[in-house]
Amino acid sequence: MTPRLVVVGAVNVDLVVQTDRLPGPGETVVGPGVERHGGGKGANAAVAAARAGAEVRYCGAVGADDTGDGALAELRAEGIEVTDVAVLEGAATGVALIVVDGGGENQIAVGAGANAAVDPAAVRAAVARSAGWAGCVLVSTEIPPGAVAAAVETAAAHGLACVLNPAPVTAGLVDLLRLGPVVTPNRSELRDLYALVEQGAAGSVAEMAAAVAARTGAPVVVTLGGDGVLVVDPERGAAPLPAPPADVRDTTGAGDTFNGVLAAGLAAGASVSEAVARGVVAASLSVGTVGARAGMPRAAAIDEATGQGTTARR
């Protein structure tokens, strides 16, 4: 049975400049050219999930402009349903400005545009409408806090698995943790979440993740870049999963790839550990190509690299 997934988040267009090194404060660096790619953490994760074999419905917003038209066309070309993406007059489609250095590290500045106007009522309706269809809801936080809350709360109300990617961390997230989403922060986001939960000095990654997991009652999956991930379960404790070796050209979108493949696995009925393993492999495969979506692998490539069956199994 094909996994089915609702993704709620931002839709951007990425403008990428490759340079020898990242600029410092007040500094200009020059690269040979500029590339345009589809972007937005939510939209990227939706593409990753679709390539991993999931049917995906997307909920978000773009501007009524050529950029928005192009962004939606790219999602449709991946087989993603975009009926629940609002097209807003008077708003620009979101844009991310990305600089990538020779080692694949990046700096990113985002102009939210239409993403800042995603309507919580529309999100609530979209998730509720998919309750009998989807196996998981994936939410990222580049949209208004009310829209994030609408997605997580509606998923919980309908008994749907939920993955919450807290990028960025906002104060309102602490109230959503009690609803039990699988939370997927990176190191810096984990520190910010821990500060909201404990309001104390940061500890080790495992200690901070355990504090967040105690609040959610669900696994916390900390993404650690080239070091893989740390899964902290409130009952089973901490389990590291290293990343396989990778030829790194661009890390932009690696976390989004991980989240999309993780959510697709959960939607297929896989355990958290199985879904995490596939997500780590997919993220490692994704960094060999410039552009957030360019290197996102298909299900067959993930299967070959993991030695597992397809995410479509139940």
Residue 312 pLDDT greater than 50, yes or no: no
Query: Which of 51, 251, 58 is closest to 138 using CA atoms?
Result: 58
CB contact at 8 A, 291 and 16: yes
Instruction: Name the β-bridge partners of 165.
Output: 140
**313 pLDDT higher than 70:** no
**Tens digits of per-residue pLDDT, 107-118?**
988 899 999 999
Q: Which of 275, 277, 281 is nearest to 263 (CA)?
A: 275
| Spatial CB neighbours of 179, under 8 Å, sequence gap ≥ 6 | 152, 153, 155, 156, 162, 216
Residue with tokens 């958290």: 272
- Superfamily of domain 4-24+34-305 in CATH is Ribokinase (3.40.1190.20)
Give me the residue spans of the domains in the chain: 4-24+34-305
Alpha carbon 39 to chain centroid, angstroms? 11
Contact 263, 279 (CB under 8 A): no
List 119, 192, 256, 303, catalytic entry: 256
Backbone angles phi, psi at 81, to 5 degrees: -80, 130
Question: Residue 310's pLDDT is what?
Answer: 42
- pLDDT value of residue 308: 60
Tell me: the pLDDT tens digits for 267-281?
999 999 999 999 999
152-165 pLDDT tens trace: 999 999 999 999 99
pLDDT > 80? residue 311: no
CA distances from 261 to 94, 188, 257 (A): 24, 22, 6
Structure confidence at residue 57 as a pLDDT band (50, 70, 90): very high
Q: Give the predicted TM-score (pTM) of the model.
A: 0.91
Whether 29 and 99 have beta carbons less than 8 Å apart is answered as yes
251-285: burial string, b at 16+ Cβ within 10 Å, e else:
bbbbbbbbbbbbbbbbbbbbebebbbbbbbbbbbb
Residue with tokens 């050209």: 249
Residue 256 is a catalytic residue: yes
d(CA 202, CA 199): 9
